[in-house]
Amino acid sequence: MTSESPERILRIKAVLDRTGLSRATLYRKMQDGTFPKNIRISSRCAGWRESAIREWMKNPMFYGVTDRPVG
């Protein structure tokens, strides 16, 4: 048996509660590449991987910075 729990998908309300971001800020950060992208659950439903949100919360100021070109 594995001690890891299965990956959870968080809906937007849970993500906003955990991060303290507003909805507009969250989507702006996604567009800028400084917040994890959401994943499509169904045709009208999306969510975020809990592990991605945890990773962002470890160091939100520098999330995605290493992936962008300097200049």
Q: What is the pLDDT of residues 10-61, one digit of tens each?
A: 999 999 999 999 999 999 999 999 999 999 999 999 999 999 999 999 999 8
Has residue 25 been placed in a domain?
yes
Has residue 71 been placed in a domain?
no
Has residue 22 been placed in a domain?
yes
Give the chain's domain count.
Answer: 1
Instruction: Find all residues with CB under 8 Å of 30, minimum gap 6, and list them.
Output: 36, 37, 38
pLDDT at 44: 93
Q: Is the pLDDT of residue 4 over 90?
A: no
Residue 57 in contact with residue 19, Cβ under 8 Å? yes
Has residue 2 been placed in a domain?
no
Range of the domain at 27: 9-64
